[in-house]
Amino acid sequence: MVSKIPQKLEGKLCFLCGRTDELTLHHLKTPVTRSKKEREELGIIIHRGECIPVCRVCHRKLEFVKKERDTLKNLSKSLAKAKGVVSLLMSKEFNYVYGNGEEEK
Protein backbone atom coordinates (compact mmCIF):
# COMPACT_ATOMS: atom_id res chain seq x y z
CA MET A 1 0.00 0.00 0.00
CA VAL A 2 1.36 3.42 -0.94
CA SER A 3 1.26 5.99 1.86
CA LYS A 4 -0.71 9.15 1.16
CA ILE A 5 1.31 11.14 3.71
CA PRO A 6 3.99 12.41 1.27
CA GLN A 7 1.26 13.64 -1.07
CA LYS A 8 -0.47 15.46 1.78
CA LEU A 9 2.80 17.18 2.70
CA GLU A 10 3.65 18.45 -0.78
CA GLY A 11 4.01 22.23 -0.73
CA LYS A 12 3.58 22.42 3.05
CA LEU A 13 5.79 24.13 5.63
CA CYS A 14 6.73 23.07 9.13
CA PHE A 15 4.04 24.54 11.37
CA LEU A 16 6.71 25.68 13.86
CA CYS A 17 9.85 26.69 11.96
CA GLY A 18 8.81 26.94 8.31
CA ARG A 19 11.18 24.28 6.91
CA THR A 20 10.00 22.40 3.84
CA ASP A 21 12.17 19.28 4.12
CA GLU A 22 11.86 16.13 6.27
CA LEU A 23 8.22 16.86 7.09
CA THR A 24 6.15 14.51 9.23
CA LEU A 25 2.66 14.71 10.68
CA HIS A 26 2.05 15.51 14.34
CA HIS A 27 -1.39 14.43 15.56
CA LEU A 28 -3.34 16.97 17.59
CA LYS A 29 -4.83 15.45 20.73
CA THR A 30 -7.57 17.98 21.39
CA PRO A 31 -10.63 16.95 19.42
CA VAL A 32 -11.98 20.14 17.92
CA THR A 33 -14.50 20.48 15.15
CA ARG A 34 -13.11 22.95 12.66
CA SER A 35 -14.47 23.98 9.33
CA LYS A 36 -12.50 23.16 6.20
CA LYS A 37 -11.66 26.86 5.85
CA GLU A 38 -10.32 27.04 9.44
CA ARG A 39 -8.19 23.92 8.88
CA GLU A 40 -6.77 25.38 5.67
CA GLU A 41 -5.97 28.70 7.38
CA LEU A 42 -4.19 26.90 10.24
CA GLY A 43 -2.42 24.44 7.94
CA ILE A 44 -4.12 21.44 9.56
CA ILE A 45 -4.21 18.21 7.58
CA ILE A 46 -6.71 15.40 8.09
CA HIS A 47 -4.94 12.04 8.37
CA ARG A 48 -6.42 9.71 11.00
CA GLY A 49 -7.46 12.82 12.89
CA GLU A 50 -6.24 16.39 12.77
CA CYS A 51 -2.51 16.81 12.18
CA ILE A 52 -0.03 19.59 11.61
CA PRO A 53 3.00 19.27 9.36
CA VAL A 54 6.27 19.57 11.29
CA CYS A 55 9.87 18.86 10.39
CA ARG A 56 11.64 15.98 12.15
CA VAL A 57 13.58 18.36 14.43
CA CYS A 58 10.45 20.15 15.62
CA HIS A 59 8.60 16.83 15.93
CA ARG A 60 11.30 15.58 18.33
CA LYS A 61 10.98 18.81 20.32
CA LEU A 62 7.19 18.44 20.51
CA GLU A 63 7.48 14.85 21.73
CA PHE A 64 10.05 15.90 24.37
CA VAL A 65 7.79 18.70 25.61
CA LYS A 66 4.84 16.29 25.68
CA LYS A 67 6.79 13.82 27.86
CA GLU A 68 7.91 16.61 30.19
CA ARG A 69 4.33 17.90 30.44
CA ASP A 70 3.07 14.42 31.32
CA THR A 71 5.81 14.07 33.95
CA LEU A 72 4.82 17.41 35.50
CA LYS A 73 1.13 16.42 35.47
CA ASN A 74 1.96 13.20 37.33
CA LEU A 75 4.14 15.08 39.81
CA SER A 76 1.37 17.62 40.34
CA LYS A 77 -1.13 14.83 41.05
CA SER A 78 1.28 13.21 43.51
CA LEU A 79 1.84 16.52 45.28
CA ALA A 80 -1.90 17.13 45.48
CA LYS A 81 -2.38 13.69 47.08
CA ALA A 82 0.46 14.35 49.53
CA LYS A 83 -1.04 17.73 50.41
CA GLY A 84 -4.37 16.01 51.05
CA VAL A 85 -2.70 13.48 53.37
CA VAL A 86 -0.88 16.24 55.26
CA SER A 87 -4.12 18.20 55.58
CA LEU A 88 -5.84 15.10 56.93
CA LEU A 89 -3.05 14.43 59.43
CA MET A 90 -3.20 18.04 60.63
CA SER A 91 -6.99 18.16 60.87
CA LYS A 92 -8.82 18.46 64.17
CA GLU A 93 -10.97 15.47 63.27
CA PHE A 94 -7.92 13.24 62.80
CA ASN A 95 -6.40 14.41 66.07
CA TYR A 96 -9.71 13.85 67.84
CA VAL A 97 -9.92 10.25 66.63
CA TYR A 98 -6.24 9.28 66.66
CA GLY A 99 -4.67 11.78 69.05
CA ASN A 100 -2.15 14.41 68.17
CA GLY A 101 0.97 12.27 68.51
CA GLU A 102 1.84 13.55 71.94
CA GLU A 103 1.76 11.37 75.02
CA GLU A 104 -1.16 12.02 77.34
CA LYS A 105 -0.26 13.34 80.79
For 38-63, what is each residue's pLDDT tens digit? 777 767 777 667 788 899 999 999 88
Most confidently modeled range among 30-34, 45-49, 72-76:
72-76
The domain limits of the chain are: 5-98
> Residue 47 belongs to what H/E stretch?
none
Phi, psi of 38 (to 5 degrees): -60, -45
Rounded to two decimals, the pTM is 0.55
Length of the chain: 105
Name the H helices within the chain: 5-9, 36-42, 56-90, 92-98
**Cβ(12)–Cβ(4) under 8 Å?**
no
